Amino acid sequence: MLRIDIITCLPGLLEGPFSHSIIKRAIDKKLSSIHIHNLRDYAFNKHKSIDDYAYGGGAGMVMMPEPIALCIEALQAERTYDEVIYLSPDGETFSQSHANALALCHNLILLCGHYKGVDERIREHFITREISIGDYVLSGGELAAAVISDAVIRLLPGALSDESSALNDSFQNGLVAPPVYTRPADFRGHKVPDVLLSGHAANIEDWRHEQSLIRTRQRRPGLFDESDPS
């Protein structure tokens, strides 16, 4: 089972994403568990403060190291974690290959940043990996934590009703997925390609691969490896 512990100062932001669809089914099947930890529970003053002004001045607050360290240490005292991940705009960009690798883990910690980020000493001494979900800034790491959790949990065996579905997702083979169609075969004069109605499995598979190549060249050419332009 994959256990994900999420450290946040705004736990309410994560109530919805894990209560529906594939993630909820995976949790109900005990394929995964998600535990949300309120950082303010580890604050060491009566005001439950978890942020302070930055040394050197400047706009914005910084998340204090002590509450974060206490929370991580409390979790690590109970089990060994494969990764302690900080969700940060300057981390490595999350991709399907990252999701595949994380899906093989047993225990993960996701630390959600806020304000101007966390004290650098946490990044230097507690974090094993830093991940960004894109080149933009969010108000905090909670939505990024939900994105990563969803991408990883859906890969767990048994999470999807058809396990082969994840193998055909965009990016699994370095290509985007081909076009898909459903009934009716003729929608307002727009017809489903004949090959998909042929029942010829090999021809259908060849068509889908060709369409993936075409769509990737058109929409995401950067996915092609220069050494293999096919």
User: What's the one-letter identity of residue 76?
Assistant: Q
Residue 47 is part of which domain span?
2-153
In angstroms, what CA-CA distances link 168 with 9, 54, 58, 173?
A: 37, 47, 48, 8
Considering the domain architecture, whether residues 28 and 52 belong to the same structural domain is answered as yes
Res 225: pLDDT = 63
CATH code, domain carrying 9: 3.40.1280.10
Helix, coil or strand: residue 51? strand
Model confidence over 136-184: pLDDT tens digits?
A: 999 999 999 999 999 999 999 999 876 555 656 657 778 998 999 999 9
Q: Find how far residue 64's CA is from the centre of its chain.
A: 25
| Mean pLDDT, range 218-224, rounded to an integer | 91
Considering the domain architecture, whether residues 37 and 115 belong to the same structural domain is answered as yes
Considering the domain architecture, whether residues 182 and 101 belong to the same structural domain is answered as no
Interatomic CA distance for residues 182 and 32, integer angstroms: 32
Cα angle for residues 6, 10, 16 (degrees, 5° grid): 75
DSSP-assigned letters across all residues of 58-69: -SSEEE-HHHHH
Quote the pTM value: 0.87
